């Protein structure tokens, strides 16, 4: 079962046009069109002032000129927009644990691990909008909802400069009156098929039996559309491949040779990584091991875990297995050990097991208790007994208790 998620969809307002206005404030408040004015040109986007005249993205420039003869035209500067987009992306990464960029000016943010509910999600959205305004002098519209479909829909409902919270309870009132085209995956063709079947609004789809819907669009599409019309969408927010990783490594003054000591060091690094995951509300699916031997040869190995985790034991088990099976030490000592994780997802976006393993449950409770104490005291006062036993052979930040 999924615990309720908190998803943000951020979409910049009139993005290319807004960047141009920022660069040249004289353009503020005027109808501005980004695109080539010529006979074969099309509109990339336009300011909200130009939209009052009916100008829209992808419209032939000839038509746009006719609708809004007094508009100012600019050809657009892609490199500039890409640079602004990258800056915004870094800001999103700072504010949310999992960020899935969708296009140059929009992204999904999963803040389930940080926010207790949609109201808290809205507070995060407010912080983000303030940062965008203060640091970039641009405005964004943000949708806050329990899934991607509703969040994306919501970001569009109060544009520009909007902040729209869309709880499941609003589905009948705010989703059902909208046309079927607003459903994810419904293009002009499917919309036409649905219309011929008498289904024009999303409410019409919610009201028809799934068998009736399947007769029109086939069983797979019917199941998909019926779920969306109920406001349901299970797609996870998935960060792009090059996205974040968390790691900890340590170099030793004397090479490590003792197997038990190496195990304890791996566990200590795994503890640090796991704590960092929990602090950021993340789960990791891939573990990484980095080993540098006394003769300065460095090896890196990775493996995928059976299920995503934020606990030290599975991470430590994973890297120990990598060390045993995939690293050839050949009698050499270890100068550096690093433990890392990647393939991160937000806590809460992964279904919880129906029958949780009692051992895992115990570890989770223990971890939560130790996190609470550590957060309060601001230092690592609680460490496992197996770490306490290790000889302190390097300047460690972990205090040992005898
Ligand atoms: P959008 O987010 O679709 O549009 P927008 O940001 O300009 O306006 P809105 O306030 O409605 O979100 O697209 C982002 C940018 O992508 C847009 O500024 C220009 C570019 N773009 C095109 O070049 N051609 C197109 O057809 C569309 C839709 C967008
Ligand atoms: Mg936009």
Return the ligand 1 atom nearest residue 58 CA: 26
- Report the DSSP beta bridge partners of residue 292: 298, 336
Kindly report the protein residue whose alpha carbon is nearest to atom 23 of ligand 1. Answer: 44
List all residues whose CB is within 6 A of at least one atom of ligand 1: 11-16, 44-45, 57-58, 104-106, 159-160
Average pLDDT over residues 163-167: 98
- Could you read off the pLDDT of 297-326 as tens digits, one per residue? 888 898 989 889 999 999 999 999 999 999
Ligand number nearest CA of 75 is 1
Q: State the distance from the centre of ligand 1 to the C-alpha of 14, rounded, in angstroms.
A: 6
Kindly report the protein residue whose alpha carbon is nearest to atom 29 of ligand 1. Answer: 44
Q: State the distance from the centre of ligand 2 to the C-alpha of 141, rounded, in angstroms.
A: 8
- Report the DSSP beta bridge partners of residue 110: 7, 98
- Could you read off the pLDDT of 244-277 as tens digits, one per residue? 788 899 999 999 999 999 999 999 999 999 998 8
Ligand number nearest CA of 16 is 1
- Residue by residue, DSSP assigns 290-357 as EEEETT--EEEEEEEEEEEE-SHHHHHHHHHHHHHHH---TT--EEEEEEEEEEEEETTSSPPPSS--
- Could you read off the pLDDT of 375-392 as tens digits, one per residue? 655 444 444 544 544 434
Kindly report the protein residue whose alpha carbon is nearest to atom 10 of ligand 1. Answer: 13
- Return the active site residues: 106
pTM confidence score: 0.66
Q: State the distance from the centre of ligand 2 to the C-alpha of 101, rounded, in angstroms.
A: 13
User: Among all chains, which residue has been given the structure tokens 């299920």?
Assistant: 307
Residue 22 confidence (pLDDT) = 98
pLDDT range class, residue 243, cuts 50, 70, 90 = low
Residue 246 confidence (pLDDT) = 87
Q: How far, in Å, are 21, 203, 354, 359, 367 from residue 314 at the CA level? A: 51, 46, 19, 11, 13
Kindly report the protein residue whose alpha carbon is nearest to atom 22 of ligand 1. Answer: 44
User: Among all chains, which residue has been given the structure tokens 């007769």?
Assistant: 215
Percent of the chain residues past pLDDT 90, beyond the cut: 68
- Could you read off the pLDDT of 334-384 as tens digits, one per residue? 999 999 998 888 776 655 555 566 777 777 777 877 777 666 554 444 445
Which uninterrupted H or E stretch holds 258?
Answer: none
SS3 10: strand
E-assigned strand segments in 13-148: 32-35, 43-46, 72-74, 98-103, 106-110, 140-145
Q: State the distance from the centre of ligand 2 to the C-alpha of 79, rounded, in angstroms.
A: 17
Query: Could you tell me which of 32, 4, 38 has the C-alpha nearest to residue 234?
Result: 4
Ligand number nearest CA of 19 is 1
């Amino acid at each position: 079962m999924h615990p309720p998620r908190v998803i943000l969809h951020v979409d910049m307002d009139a993005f290319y046009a807004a960047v141009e206005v920022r660069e040249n404030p004289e353009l503020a408040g005027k109808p501005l069109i980004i695109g080539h004015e010529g006979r074969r040109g099309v509109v990339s986007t336009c300011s909200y002032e130009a939209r009052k005249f009916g100008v829209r993205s992808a419209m032939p420039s000839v038509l746009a000129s006719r609708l809004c003869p007094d508009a100012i035209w600019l050809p657009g500067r892609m490199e500039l927009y890409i640079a602004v987009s990258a800056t915004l992306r870094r800001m999103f990464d700072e504010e949310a644990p999992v960020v899935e960029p969708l296009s140059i000016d929009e992204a999904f943010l999963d803040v389930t691990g940080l926010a207790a509910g949609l109201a808290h999600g809205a507070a995060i959205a407010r912080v983000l909008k303030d940062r965008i305004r203060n640091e970039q002098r641009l405005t964004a519209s943000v949708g806050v909802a329990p899934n991607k479909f509703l969040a994306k829909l919501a970001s569009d409902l109060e544009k520009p400069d909007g902040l729209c919270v869309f709880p499941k309870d609003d589905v009948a009132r705010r989703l059902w009156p909208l046309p079927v085209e607003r459903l994810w995956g419904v293009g002009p063709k499917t919309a036409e098929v649905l219309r011929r079947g008498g289904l024009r609004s999303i409410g019409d789809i919610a009201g028809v039996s799934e068998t009736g819907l399947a007769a029109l669009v086939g069983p797979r599409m019917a199941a998909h559309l019926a779920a969306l019309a109920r406001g349901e969408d299970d797609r996870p927010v998935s960060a792009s491949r090059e996205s974040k990783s968390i790691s900890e490594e340590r170099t030793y003054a004397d090479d490590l040779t003792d197997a038990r000591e190496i195990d304890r060091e791996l566990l200590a690094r795994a503890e640090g990584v796991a704590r960092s995951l929990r602090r950021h509300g993340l789960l990791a699916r891939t573990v990484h091991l980095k080993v540098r031997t006394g003769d300065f040869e460095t090896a890196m190995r990775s493996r995928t875990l059976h299920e995503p985790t934020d606990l030290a034991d599975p991470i430590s088990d994973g890297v120990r297995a990598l060390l045993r099976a995939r690293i050839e030490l050949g009698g050499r000592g270890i100068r550096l050990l690093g433990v890392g994780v990647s393939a991160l997802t937000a806590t809460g976006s992964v279904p919880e097991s129906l029958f949780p393993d009692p051992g895992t449950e115990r570890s989770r409770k223990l971890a939560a208790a130790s996190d609470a104490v550590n957060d309060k005291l601001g230092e690592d006062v609680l460490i496992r007994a197996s770490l306490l036993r290790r000889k302190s052979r390097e300047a460690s930040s972990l205090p040992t208790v005898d």
